[in-house]
Amino acid sequence: MRGNRTRGAGVRRVGAKVDPREEFLSSTMGALDLVYNIARRMVPSVEDAQDLVQETYLAAFAAWVKGRKPDRVEPWLATICMNLARSRYRREARRPREVPMELAQGVADPSDPEREALASLDAAALRRAMWALEEGQRVALALVDIAGLSTREAAQAMGTPRGTVLSRLHRGRRSLARLLGDQVKGRQA
């Protein structure tokens, strides 16, 4: 016997059942940051992104238990997350919007108003610019530039050819630069 191996470590008995929860978690938790980054770009608030991540993992686990186990979990989880975000967007588009009381009353955080205003303006400007893009461009940018997937992985996650992803990236980046450039010029004037 070599080293300090415990009895049976790394050895699975033939016919032994594997706990699907443990198998799922060990296979998918490495992609949690990726899924969160995608969710954060697909929905307007941190809380909504956290909810979307939970929904993504619940849907993925339900598929996993039914035997649908992908070769690569990152594009699979990205696809589930994007599909859930699209469904949520369509569902919410049919509902009237609610405005939080704090926004209605104009309550501000007194910590460092100037810095907070600049930071929120930049984040708000980027978020507005991203939401102004066509959905395909926004998703391609979120997957490749933000989540760090390759264009091949993004194409697989989006269910489109790689050339389409490259085209959407190019047009999306160009539109984003134009939109953000217009907003920067507007602030300087």
Query: Which domains are seen in the chain, by residue range?
Result: 18-102 (1.10.1740.10), 112-189 (1.10.10.10)
| Dist CA 183 CA 175 (whole Å) | 12
What is the DSSP-derived secondary structure letter of residue 29? G
Compute φ and ψ for 17, nearest 5 degrees: -80, 140
* Total-model pTM: 0.53
Query: Can you give the pLDDT of all 189 residues of the chain as single tens digits?
Result: 344 433 344 445 555 577 889 999 999 999 999 999 989 888 888 999 999 999 999 999 999 999 888 988 998 999 899 889 888 877 776 666 565 655 544 444 456 555 554 455 566 777 778 888 888 898 888 888 877 888 998 888 888 999 999 999 999 999 988 888 766 555 554
The pLDDT, as a whole number, for residue 17 is 76
Nearest residue to 65 via CA among 24, 17, 15, 14 = 24
The pLDDT, as a whole number, for residue 162 is 95
For residue 5 the two structure tokens come to: 């191996």
* Gyration radius (Cα) of the chain, Å: 21
| Dist CA 156 CA 137 (whole Å) | 15
Alpha helices in 66-161 (DSSP H): 73-93, 101-105, 113-132, 135-141, 151-158
Dihedral sign from CA coordinates of 159, 160, 162, 166? negative
